[in-house]
Amino acid sequence: MSILEADSINLSFGPRKILSNVYLQCKRGDVVGIIGRNGSGKSSLMKLIFGTLRGENQSIRVNRQYVDQLYKKPEMINYLPQDSFLMNYLTVKQVSRIFDAEQIVNIEILKPHINNRIGELSGGLKKLIEIFTMLYMQSKFVLLDEPFSFLSPVFVEEVSTHIKLQSRKKGIMLTDHQYQSVWGVANKYYILYDGILREIYQLDELEQYGYLSNKS
Amino acid sequence: MPIPNKKLLLGVRLFYREYTVFNLILTLVGISFIMTLGEISFIYIFWIKSLGYFVFGALYLMGKRKHLYFFHNLGISAFSLFGASIVLDILISLSIFIITYQIIYH
């Protein structure tokens, strides 16, 4: 079984400490949900694991073996960034072929749009295609940075179903502002607070770390 | 495992498409230089092209940086992408300029 470990991660932007001695592990079957306030370092953590951002120090290991710039091994990992990254002139079918994720053309909700160009789709559908492409690539791990943003409730439900489905084959890490969506789909939860990653087990711990106000 | 060459070629092809118009303009400028200045124009073309790569790189990183994740998800680094695209463009442009020079002056 493949194990992805992110260890001893430290990151600062100028005098501001973003991540402090973070350790995180993800195995096949895990859906790791990372919750945190805006600017808490969730996306930075994802980019550090993916290998497109360097911290002061970090050790990314797959099966106990150190890997530098993990993204150079697409059979190992892929990453859904917050911003749309697909070129508008490509069709959905072309995208599925380029990323070896042909299975997405069989997803009912996408079927009517298979021959559409990305630029012709709504923001929500575009995001949906990006999420499914990343989920159905032939990699062992997938990082989803705010997958539920800009999605309608029906799409959130659809994405949650496919995350659970694909977690049987791979390890998944996700972050989002909508903690309710993350809470429904993940099986391990962490909160990033003051640069430190803490595992949480109950929703009321979100109040304790200032993610939710006491009123909610 | 190194990046499969097929993916790199595909990435370069898609990346190259991103700056076709920009490139076409530079190539036409180069051709006009050859037509008016002759052999010496190659020095100017070299500098125009070099500046062009720099300007394009800067514009791309400012405006389309998010598209880099498209290539990263194929296992391609920004360095490989820019490097391979520049090599490809040098080969294509040089061929065009030499052919143009041959047609006009020989």
Question: So what's the ipTM on this one?
Answer: 0.93
Query: Could you report the average pLDDT of every consecutive run of 10 residues in chain B (106 residues)?
Result: 74 89 90 91 92 91 91 95 91 93 88
Residue A24 domain boundaries: 3-208
Partner residue facing B69 (CB), from A75, A85, A98? A85
User: Which of 29-88 (B) contact A at CB < 8 A?
Assistant: 66-70, 72-75, 77
- Chain A contact for B14 (CB, 8 A cutoff): yes
> Is residue A57, in this structure, part of any structural domain at all?
yes
Amino acid at B74: L
- Chain B contact for A184 (CB, 8 A cutoff): no
Confidence category of residue A148, pLDDT binned at 50, 70, 90: very high
Q: Which residue of B has its CA nearest to A99?
A: B74
pTM of the prediction? 0.91
Interface with chain A: mutation pick from B3, B6, B62, B73, highest number of A CBs within 10 Å: B73
Confidence category of residue A42, pLDDT binned at 50, 70, 90: very high
Q: What is the 3-state secondary structure of chain A?
A: CCEEEEEEEEEEECCEEEEEEEEEEEECCCEEEEEECCCCCHHHHHHHHHCCCCCCEEEEEECCEECCCHHHCCCCEEEECCCCCCCCCCEHHHHHHHCCCHHHHHCHHHHHHCCCEHHHCCHHHHHHHHHHHHHHCCCCEEEEECCCCCCCHHHHHHHHHHHHHHCCCCEEEEECCCHHHHHHHCCEEEEEECCEEEEECCCCHHHHCCCCCCCC
- Chain B contact for A74 (CB, 8 A cutoff): yes
**CATH (domain of A8):** 3.40.50.300
Q: Which residue of B has its CA nearest to A78?
A: B73
B94: closest CA of chain A, how far (Å): 28
Q: Give the per-residue pLDDT at B3.
A: 54
Number of domains observed in the structure of chain A? 1
| Interchain proximity B72–A79, CB inside 8 Å | yes
> Is residue A49, in this structure, part of any structural domain at all?
yes
| Interchain proximity A79–B66, CB inside 8 Å | no
- Chain B contact for A54 (CB, 8 A cutoff): no
